[in-house]
Amino acid sequence: MELSEALFKRRSVRKFTAEPVSEENVLELLHAGMSGPSACNKTPWEFFVITKPEVLEKLRKAARYSKIEAPLAIVVCGNLSKALPSQLSPFWIQDCSAATENILLRAVDLELGAVWCGIHPMKTAEKNVREALSLPEKFIPLNIIYIGHPSEEPEARDQFNEKKVHYIK
Amino acid sequence: MELSEALFKRRSVRKFTAEPVSEENVLELLHAGMSGPSACNKTPWEFFVITKPEVLEKLRKAARYSKIEAPLAIVVCGNLSKALPSQLSPFWIQDCSAATENILLRAVDLELGAVWCGIHPMKTAEKNVREALSLPEKFIPLNIIYIGHPSEEPEARDQFNEKKVHYIK
């Protein structure tokens, strides 16, 4: 799909069929995620790929907005042992967000649907996801991306708003 | 361009020709940025589009990594008055990062080059950008994206690393 089409077709999809996402498509999503930029190219990300029903159930209970039935979840985590020391380390959030956007766009391209459920920095949700995945201390869950074959198709949307543009010329 | 091609072609470009970026292309980049997702669809972003030489000069001096000669800079800012209250407000960083990744990808698609220079949360760099753009208090500069016609072309790259993938099935 053309990039410009995928950008506007990318909408939050929260209803999915029971059809699993193929292993091939999972790999395509992960390649997309890891192609993103990162501060000083530290790639401070980890990707948890969850299809186990009991764990998906725990993720649904992890946060107010995470109650979504999907055959697949990818939890994008920051790896603080890989991140830069001192004042640069908070960049993992930005790096993992760019990786997440790449995954969402590639999902559209693969005719999948997806939704980004924010976890970090909501402390209770973070703790719940940490427990559900038995995360080591150094990994911080940024979000849960639910992915599947869509059973709803929100319309493509352009949210351009000229009031948000400030020219200095 | 196919999305899958743009994902891997997107590399940091730091050398540009003197040719300006057309107004039409600037608009395409802004449409791409604003098509990104945001928590509760609060779209807590503002885009400063800078072509004024004196201000570009100030941006170059704003941070250690921002000394880049480009005909155009877009500074993506969070608008905290638009963001959610309390614990949800930090999501502006994730929202603006997704918008930034969209701009970087669309730049590739338009045969432009671009580089993401992180500003927030480095306090001195933030202050310098704030002063250069005379930002109101409620706007926080996340980054400087330098954009132009590339005079270097880094090779497409796939950074997939299976060690960063954890299956729970």
Burial class (CB in 10 A: 0-12, 13-18, 19+), A43: buried
Residues of chain A in contact with residue B106, where contact means CB-CB under 8 angstroms, are 3-4, 7
In a mutational test of the B interface, the residue from A30, A168, A169 whose CB has the highest number of chain B CBs within 10 Å is A168
Query: Å from B19 to nearest chain A CA?
Result: 15
Residues of chain B in contact with residue A45, where contact means CB-CB under 8 angstroms, are 164
How confident is residue A81, by pLDDT bands cut at 50, 70 and 90? confident
For residue B83, what pLDDT is reported? 61
- The secondary structure element, H or E, covering residue A144 is strand A139-148
Q: Which residue of B has its CA nearest to A120?
A: B91
* Partner residue facing A7 (CB), from B35, B94, B116: B35
Distances (CA, A) of A2 to A8, A103, A114, B5, B110: 11, 15, 18, 9, 12
Domains assigned to chain A: 3-151 (3.40.109.10)
For residue B87, what pLDDT is reported? 59
Mean pLDDT score of chain A = 95
CA B131 to chain centre: 19
Name which of A15, A35, A18, A19 is nearest A106 in CA terms: A35
Residues of chain B in contact with residue A4, where contact means CB-CB under 8 angstroms, are 28, 32, 106, 109
Give me the DSSP letters along A61-92: TTSTT-----SEEEEEEEETTTSPSGGGTTHH
The DSSP bridge partners found for residue A86 are none
The pTM for the full model equals 0.97
**Beta carbons of B147 and B70 less than 8 angstroms apart:** yes
Position of tokens 């498509």? A25
Q: Residue A164 and residue B45: Cα distance in Å, rounded?
A: 7
Q: Which two tokens stand for residue B24?
A: 């039409």
Tell me the torsion sign for CA atoms A78, A135, A141, A45. positive
**Above 70 in pLDDT, residue A84?**
no
To 10 degrees, what angle do helices A53-60 and A123-133 make?
Answer: 170
Distances (CA, A) of A110 to A1, A53, A137, A152: 8, 23, 34, 15
Tens digits of residue pLDDT in A94-117: 999 999 999 999 999 999 999 999
The DSSP bridge partners found for residue B46 are B77
Interface contact A93-B97, CB threshold 8 A: yes
**Beta carbons of B16 and B150 less than 8 angstroms apart:** yes
In a mutational test of the A interface, the residue from B101, B120, B124 whose CB has the highest number of chain A CBs within 10 Å is B101
* Partner residue facing B3 (CB), from A6, A50, A90: A6
How confident is residue A89, by pLDDT bands cut at 50, 70 and 90? confident
Q: Residue B15 and residue B154: Cα distance in Å, rounded?
A: 11
Predicted ipTM of the assembly: 0.97
Tens digits of residue pLDDT in B56-113: 999 999 999 999 999 999 999 999 986 656 656 889 999 999 999 999 999 999 999 9
Distances (CA, A) of B37 to A82, A128, B22, B33, B42: 27, 24, 26, 9, 9
**Beta carbons of A3 and A35 less than 8 angstroms apart:** no
